[in-house]
Structure formats: C-alpha cells, structure tokens
Homo-oligomer: A and B are copies of this chain.
Amino acid sequence: MVKRPPQTQGERSERSRQQILDAALKWFSHRGYGATSVRDIAEEAGLSKGNVYHHFPDKETIFRALLDRYFQAMSTPEFPFNRALASGTFPDNLEALGRAARDTVRDYREYVALIYVDVVEFDGSHVRKFYAEMADRFDAFLKEHGMEEPLKSRLQEGLSPISAVMLATRIFYNYFSIEILFGVKDHFGKGTDEVVHEISRILRHGMLRSYVP
C-alpha cells in the first residue's frame, strides 16, 4: 500500500503555482520577457494555458513574482553572501566574499539574467528600488552586526564603510557575472582564484607600492 499523499486543493494549487514560476524563470531568463510566450510557460510547467491564467492575472505578474522571489532570498541572513559577510571580519574576508559572490551568481544565474531582462524590457523599473536601497541595506547590516565602528577605525581617513563594502560587492558580482552569465572564463587573463586574491589585495592595500610619507 503506497502512502499516496492526499494532496489537498491548497497543496495542489501551491504546487502548480511554483511549477509555473519555475517554468517562467527558465524561459524568461533565456529568451527575455516579450519573446517568451505563456504557452511556453504552461507547457514547461505541464499545465494548460488557461490554468496559468487561473493562478496569475497576467504575464507581467509572473515576471514580478520571480523578481520578488529573488530579492526576498537575497535579503535573508541565510543567503550565502550575507553569511560570508557576517561570518568574517571585513576586509580580511574579501577572498571569502569573492567565493560567496561566485556561488551566488552560479546558483542564481537565471535570476541575475532576469535583472538584465528588466533593464532592457522594463527600463529597470522592477529592479531599481532594490539597487537604490542597496547601500542602506549594507549600512543596516553593518550596524546590526556591530561591524561599523570597528571597521571605520581600520579604514583610511574619510573613507566610509559602506563605500568599501559596496565596492567589493559590486566588483566581485560583476566579475562572476561575466564569467558565468557571459560564459567568459578568466577574462582578466588569469585563473579565477588568482584574480580574487589580486582584487582582494588591491582593495585592502592598493595597487601602488607603499610609500613612506
């Protein structure tokens, strides 16, 4: 006697919803929004087109739901990059942040592609808020973890902790976006680990030889 899960209506409904979102993520991230048809999504999800419209009012709502999924995931403490940021002392953990950025882009590459889709086809209207609030989120994060003051005392005179963290975050995310999304291995002309180490060194101590003032 197999234990058939009874599967209530609510469970079935939620399951279909997620199937639709998963299918839409796959298509939107590989063909863009406008070129993806609701038929493609329905077929990929194993449901009828009518059913898709039963769960979502229209195509754009599906797209927005996917970006919400992503931004919500990025805001939890369990998010790999946030874990890396919280578990070490910045900027001593720059190499770990680099690896976390790589893992993030690798695991969420389809969502990152969605950002490009939004910038092109929606003028960035769905992602703008997220990027505009990024600095404030890092600020709150540093304060919550009691990192701001100790970090500030280690930084160069007049350098804000937020700028330092933002800079490191952006360069690592950008590097691995090109490696993973663009499909370009070693575009700095050398291996990934070496690049992460070199970037970390430069961010910590600069590219110029130290000079005695």
Contacts and interface: CB of A to CB of B under 8 A. Distances in A.
Interface of A: 29-36, 91, 113, 116-117, 119-121, 123-124, 127-128, 131-132, 134-136, 139, 154-157, 159-160, 162-164, 166-167, 170-171, 174-175, 178, 181-185, 187-190, 195, 198-199, 201-210, 213
Nearest to A151: B207
Contacts of A29: 120
Interface of A is mostly: helix
A204 B202 CA distance: 8
Contacts of A123: 30, 183
A202 B198 contact: no
Contact of A207 (B32, B33, B204): B204
B198 A159 contact: yes
A130 to B, nearest CB: 9
Given A35-B34, A174-B174, A154 B116 contact: no
Contact of A198 (B160, B204, B208): B160
B209 A156 contact: yes
Nearest to A183: B124
A159 B166 CA distance: 23
A181 B128 CA distance: 10
Given A163-B195, A174-B174, A199-B167, A121 B31 contact: yes
A164 B207 contact: yes
A34 B185 CA distance: 27
13 contacts: A32-B32, A113-B119, A113-B120, A124-B183, A154-B209, A156-B202, A156-B206, A160-B189, A162-B189, A164-B202, A174-B174, A202-B206, A205-B205
